[in-house]
């Protein structure tokens, strides 16, 4: 297993109620499996995953396990290596290695990764995406929304919760006025509110026609989110998936929508499995990056493409990066992101 560190600066930092993301650090992973060289990316995000240091240690532990077992009967140490990587403890590290394995498997089988997940989806050439609009004063928010709609986005996600509810409501109403009724408007509070403030926010945001609010309350407050579902605006859970295991979230009846971040869930395979289970429960999955490099972003695109008729996903995040690991195989146009059709993650995705 080859593990190489990288740092990617953001050209356009993402300002949220929980802080600003201005750089991403992680590791690329390359691994030979079934005669193919698969690639992966482990890009931990403090607060969401393990630390960079814990990620590094876990990947090197997995690499040692792979080497020790390389002469196993199946000629591969991937099983023992994967067992070293716990999806809850070190999700980014598991994501890195699991992606490399999945890429190699799908390349060996000669299918794009999304069809390796689910051949029944047929050919999916693109998936719808939302524009991600960070916290900013009302004028800048409207400017960003207008630019996104001019670029063809039909769904906008605005960060809220860094300001008062009244101010955020003014931002969202101004966006609605500027873009008209035909655009889906979402808000992401990144756990900024207490229960009372959340009720005020939902009431105020409803007047801007917000379709759902992502994580209004603290990650551990499943009961609070469940109560908020009566307010007429859908509730999406995101940070709660960091605090609770997926089954607890599905059982809590606390969400209309689940935000699935493969980097946070321990891999594209975990994210795809959870999307399927959520759908079975009538909960809509939405796949997003954690502002990752192109390998993880492309893997997330494949996860989204494997979900039939997926709602707009948070995958249009390449533009925020000042630099990337390689040229982007998933261009965004007209509110959709292209899905690579060559085997694995895509012909272009190599290290
Ligand atoms: O969903 C999107 O539009 C982009 C992804 C995004 O907002 C995000 C990116 C990094 C960390 C957290 C989040 C989030 O959804 O809260
Ligand atoms: Mg979110």
- Mean pLDDT throughout 288-295? 98
Q: Does residue 317 have its Cβ closer than 6 Å to ligand 1? A: yes
pLDDT, residue 104, reads 97
Domains along the chain? 2-110 (3.30.390.10), 117-338 (3.20.20.120)
pLDDT, residue 72, reads 61
Task: For residue 47, give the ligand nearest its CA.
Answer: 1
Predicted confidence (pLDDT) at residue 114 exceeds the cutoff of 80? yes
pLDDT in tens, 176-228: 999 999 999 999 999 999 999 999 999 999 999 999 999 999 999 999 999 99
| Spatial separation of the C-alpha atoms in residues 236 and 77, rounded to whole Å | 38
Would you please indicate which residues are annotated as catalytic (active-site) residues? 159, 261
pLDDT, residue 77, reads 83
Question: Is 236 in contact with 255 (CB distance < 8 Å)?
Answer: yes
pLDDT, residue 75, reads 56
pLDDT in tens, 70-111: 866 555 789 889 999 999 999 999 999 999 999 999 999 999
pLDDT in tens, 1-53: 999 999 999 999 999 999 999 999 999 999 999 999 999 999 999 999 999 99
Question: Ligand 1, from 48, 188, 191, 293: best to mutate by most atoms within 8 Å of Cβ?
Answer: 188
Q: Ligand 1, closest atom to CA 130?
A: 3
pLDDT, residue 74, reads 58
Q: How many CB atoms lie within 10 A of CB 23?
A: 12
How far does the centroid of ligand 2 lie from the alpha carbon of residue 260, in Å?
Answer: 9
Q: Does residue 240 have its Cβ closer than 6 Å to ligand 1? A: no
| Spatial separation of the C-alpha atoms in residues 328 and 309, rounded to whole Å | 24
Q: Does residue 141 have its Cβ closer than 6 Å to ligand 1? A: no
pLDDT, residue 330, reads 97
**Residues above pLDDT 90, as percent of the chain:** 95
For the chain, helix, strand, coil in percent to 5 are 40, 25, 35
Question: Ligand 1, from 288, 301, 303, 313: best to mutate by most atoms within 8 Å of Cβ?
Answer: 288
How far does the centroid of ligand 2 lie from the alpha carbon of residue 215, in Å?
Answer: 6
Q: Measure Cα distances from 266 to 1, 149, 200 in Å.
A: 18, 33, 35
């Amino acid at each position: 297993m080859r593990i190489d560190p990288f740092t990617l600066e953001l050209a356009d930092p993402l300002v949220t109620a929980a802080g600003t993301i201005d750089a991403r650090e992680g590791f690329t992973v390359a691994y030979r499996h079934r005669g193919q060289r698969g690639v992966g990316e482990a890009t931990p995000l403090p607060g969401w995953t393990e630390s960079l240091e814990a990620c590094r240690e876990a990947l090197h532990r997995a690499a040692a396990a792979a080497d020790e077992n390389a002469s196993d009967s199946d000629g591969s140490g991937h099983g023992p290596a994967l067992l070293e990587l716990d999806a809850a403890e070190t999700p980014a590290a598991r994501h890195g290695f699991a992606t490399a394995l999945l890429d190699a498997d799908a390349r060996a089988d000669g299918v794009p990764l999304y069809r390796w997940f689910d051949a029944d989806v047929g050919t999916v050439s693109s998936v719808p995406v939302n524009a991600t609009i960070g916290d900013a004063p009302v004028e800048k928010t409207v400017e960003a929304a207008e630019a996104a709609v001019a670029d063809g986005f039909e769904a906008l996600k605005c960060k809220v919760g860094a300001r008062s509810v009244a101010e955020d409501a003014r931002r969202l109403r101004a966006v609605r006025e500027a873009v008209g009724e035909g655009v889906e408007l979402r808000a992401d509070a990144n756990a900024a509110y207490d229960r009372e403030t959340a009720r005020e926010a939902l009431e105020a945001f409803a007047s801007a026609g917000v379709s759902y609010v992502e994580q209004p309350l603290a990650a551990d407050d499943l009961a609070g989110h469940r109560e908020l579902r009566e307010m007429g605006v859908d509730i999406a859970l995101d940070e709660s998936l960091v605090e609770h295991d997926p089954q607890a979230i599905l059982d809590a009846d606390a969400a209309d929508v689940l935000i699935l971040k493969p980097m946070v869930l321990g891999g594209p395979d975990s994210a795809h499995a959870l999307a399927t289970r959520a759908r079975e429960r009538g909960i809509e999955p939405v796949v997003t990056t954690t502002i990752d490099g192109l390998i993880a972003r492309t893997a997330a695109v494949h996860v989204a493409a494997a979900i039939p008729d997926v709602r707009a996903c948070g995958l249009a995040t390449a533009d925020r990066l000042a630099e990337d690991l390689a040229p982007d195989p998933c261009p965004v146009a007209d509110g959709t992101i292209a899905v690579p059709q060559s085997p694995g993650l895509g012909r272009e995705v190599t290290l």
